[in-house]
Structure 1
């Protein structure tokens, strides 16, 4: 029990017996504990050096235990100081180890281990951006969830462009729609993809944080990448995924408009019959009004469905819609 405070087993036995008896001689303690007399005397000397026992002025051979709350409290405080120093030394050694590893890799990457260090690096990446932050979000988060990430709101207030592609499975979280709507309200651009290869965040195409693949039961790890050569494929992957993802808006998120992906599946290969007919007529060169007359629907319906097709394809204009429709096999 007391060995954690620096006492050896015999010292602990002697002290506990002396606490029970109040006072005793070395001979009496030795007889009670069945320890050799010289071992008991040595233990009493050690206890005296720790300030745990004293002798009475009238009887130098009679030992008295000091108040445990005072004497042991002092030892406990000393041990705490030692542990704090050890903890500081471990932190310093870990930093030196990390720096050495970074030098070995030319400073190109850093392996970050543990939830708190990953969260700290994540926030540092966000705060380092001057122009844009982009990334992928899968579910579940490795270390930083949307409600654990107050820096996003702060960074968004700096006028940076923020683009995020989220995986469809992320919407299984009951609070996901509220989180997304709040992010959209801060000016963040969000699109949805059926599936993403990995979560990641990239700042100014200059630095990225990517979770490392590991067993969910293991300590989380992430890779901080500082190399433009290593970042280039990630930036390319993001831009390609962003161009093909379905952009979200507050109305879709809050009112529950259908998101154009089946559960766990990619974008649909076939359109609804009315959408397919409108797309065919549009690509044939008919105006919206002419298409509406030919199909026997209102002009408003045609205009609304074309807007839906553009959103579905991630197209900014009707020419791009034709190109994306060809890519997706809609025509």
Structure 2
């Protein structure tokens, strides 16, 4: 817990023991804690250097801690200052990198060569996004294919919106339906067009990676674009293509039900657990309140609600209630 402030695990144990008791001796610490005597002595010395522990001047040899809000607060403030300096250093390095890239069209683009460098830049573009990711996926993929695409874990972990337009030829893959259903089930938005001009990924309309079309014997290359002047046409192209593309939806009522994770088909009737979760949701409880009511973790409840939406073919929770009524679940 306190490792972020630079304390070792032994120092943290000693400090917490002292906080609980306010004052104790070295001998008492050695008896109470499961650490070698020399480790406890070294931890006390380290805590003293940090100003977290003082030793009584009398012969008792008692160690005393001050108010954590003051002593730890000062360490926290110092660490914030250090991180601020690191942030300034990163900004400076970024500026130096842009200046060094001036040989590539005035620093507006970077040429990336080779499969591994392109894949690495692709992931870096995704990780840089704060709001949304959008892009085109041609067939066949040049560097990163749908099944090894790291975008979806990024979206799931950070709550980003992701929109992808794919070429119609991708549906020729016999496994494409499973891939698409899984992607839609994880919240990705997918639309289809007959053909795309390029593959690309754009993060927050601020940076884009565009693989270049090369021959089968040529080394793959891509262009990393960070100029707003060059990005604007790509963003406009994506939005126009997205507006004209055919959107794919999760399986709706009347279609084959979305299977469970183990491959078994979705039921005509809900399990008792799912029915209970649905009843509590329709009663107006929050996800956390549902979790507390049933005795499950919040993560488990959220996953079951997502599963219910998949089974119902619902895009949102309002649709979930409506389609649950249609299917006789409530």
TM-score by length of 2: 0.45
TM-score by length of 1: 0.45
